[in-house]
Amino acid sequence: MNTTYPIASIAELIGEPARAAMLVAVLDGRSLTAGELALIANVSAQSASAHLSKMITGGLLKARSSGRHRYYSLAGSDVAHAIEALGAIATLPRSSAAPQSQNELEIRKARSCYDHLAGRVAVEMAKALEGSKIIRISGEREYELGRDGRSWFLNLGIDTGALRCSRRSFARQCLDWTERRPHLAGALGAELCARTLALGWFAKQRNKRALRVTHEGVRELHGRFGISA
């Protein structure tokens, strides 16, 4: 490791195309096997094993064993934030007239970023919560509850008091790489994601980061946030 500039060592780990592909594959919080990641990165099993070992040593990934399989996932939310921010820097804004695949459209609309919501819908949710004073910007990267924030989230089934006991940041601004505006992350963002999934507003899609907005979600997002999804 480069001890003078540790960031250079992390940049080298992320910058290798196969490793970048693996990191993006688990950016939605999934845990995948070495074989699945090898296919995604288009490398051999032996090469995948070497890449995964380096990323575990570098603190980007963690691994757990279950039966005969070993599953790999991001080491934590900070890694997800870093990758999402790098995506915003690396991805040039697209013209609205530029053709986009169905998968691109779905990714940009709604997806999971580690354990919280991302994409246009998530950005608009954060903006609506700011506009209604449910949350407010605090400092450079944090959110704090507004005057009616605790009761609003409690009505949704989220106890913000309990979340403050978490070791992680309460509420963070996470720069959305497709929208280039912040969405809600941290303990509150994670709980909002989990709760809206449990309520059936969003549905996970097999082998996709994109989330599908359900009919119930369309109704609730319009009613509670004024969002057309």
pLDDT confidence of residue 107? 87
pLDDT confidence of residue 28? 78
Q: 83 in a domain, yes or no?
A: no
Three-class DSSP category at 78: helix
Statement to judge: residues 110 and 50 lie in one domain? no
Statement to judge: residues 29 and 106 lie in one domain? no
Domains identified in the chain, total number? 2
pLDDT confidence of residue 6? 78
Statement to judge: residues 71 and 104 lie in one domain? no
Q: 91 in a domain, yes or no?
A: no
Q: 81 in a domain, yes or no?
A: no
pLDDT confidence of residue 67? 83
pLDDT confidence of residue 99? 53
User: Is the entire prediction scored with pTM above 0.75?
Assistant: no
Q: 169 in a domain, yes or no?
A: yes
The CATH number covering residue 66 comes to: 1.10.10.10
Statement to judge: residues 155 and 201 lie in one domain? yes
Domain around 133: 96-225
pLDDT confidence of residue 182? 92
Q: 210 CB contacts (<8 Å, ≥6 apart)? A: 103, 106, 107, 109, 110, 111, 119
Q: 139 in a domain, yes or no?
A: yes
Show the low-confidence residues of the chain (pLDDT under 70).
Answer: 1-3, 91-99, 207
State how far the Cα of 185 lies from the Cα of 113, in Å rounded to an integer. 9
pLDDT confidence of residue 94? 57
Q: 87 in a domain, yes or no?
A: no
